[in-house]
Amino acid sequence: MPPGESTRPVQHRRPPAAAPVPSVTSSGIPIEVRRSAKRRRTVNAAFRDGKAVISIPGHFTTAEESEWVQRMVARLEQRTAQTRRPDPKNLGDELAARAAELSRSYLGGAARPVSVRWVSNQNSRWGSATPARGTIRLSDKLQGMPGWVVDYVLLHELAHLIEASHSPAFWRLLESYPHTETAKAYLQGAAYASARGLAGAMGEDQGAEDTDEEGPGS
């Protein structure tokens, strides 16, 4: 079922066991349930803003909510697995295509971001990743740098979707990329040369949804 399409729920007469409504998908994407009094008979599911948004009729019981959220999330994930493009609105650009290519070339296609985008409000970081949401942001300060440098930052953040911390396993993921060391040196030089705005080291998104802490020496 394509995101945004509606499906008509069937009525269940037997009193269902009230399983808890899941709060994240199996891949860790937050689930947001929206109840609508206007919505009478249909349930809708779509990825929006890094979340799986499930819209249900306002009269649903908790048991119905739980059942339909699980069912619709399963369908969303099935579709994601089939297309590998969870959110076409976010991925329909060059950066997303590049991310997919880098993931294929160096990570065996294992990193599948939900969204990849340029941001202009990232002053102290070249890039950041939020593994729990599958989102990647790159600073637009990278624009104009050599392609192999931008690729390195993108690949670095893609690798964080697989390995959240800067563990030895994380750096092993980057070993096959031939420009890792030179790109790190380039970025350090760029940060040094920039008197303001750039702190230097690659930082990561430390949002509440991140469970992995950066280790010392990262």
Least distance from Zn ion to the Cβ atom of residue 93, Å: 23
Which residues are CB-neighbours of 208 under 8 A, at least 6 positions away? Answer: none
Least distance from Zn ion to the Cβ atom of residue 167, Å: 11
Cα 13 to Cα 10, 16, 39, 155: the distances in Å are: 10, 8, 20, 51
Nearer to Zn ion, 1 or 201 (CB): 201
Length of the chain: 218
How would DSSP label each residue in 108-161? TT----SEEEEES--SS-SEEEETTTTEEEEEGGGTTS-HHHHHHHHHHHHHHH
Nearer to Zn ion, 149 or 202 (CB): 202
Least distance from Zn ion to the Cβ atom of residue 158, Å: 11
Residues 193, 185: Cα–Cα separation, whole Å: 12
Nearer to Zn ion, 52 or 198 (CB): 198
Nearer to Zn ion, 9 or 186 (CB): 186
Task: Kindly state the tokens that stand for 13.
Answer: 């007469």
Least distance from Zn ion to the Cβ atom of residue 172, Å: 14
Q: Are the C-beta atoms of 95 and 116 separated by less than 8 Å?
A: yes
Nearer to Zn ion, 86 or 131 (CB): 131
Least distance from Zn ion to the Cβ atom of residue 69, Å: 33
The SS3 assignment for 69 reads helix
Nearer to Zn ion, 132 or 202 (CB): 202
Q: Are the C-beta atoms of 130 and 27 separated by less than 8 Å?
A: no
Binding to Zn ion (CB under 5 A): which residues in 153-212? 202
Least distance from Zn ion to the Cβ atom of residue 218, Å: 7
Task: Read off φ and ψ for residue 142, nearest 5 degrees.
Answer: -75, -20
Q: How many residues bind Zn ion (CB under 5 A)?
A: 1
Contacting residues toward Zn ion, per CB under 5 A: 202
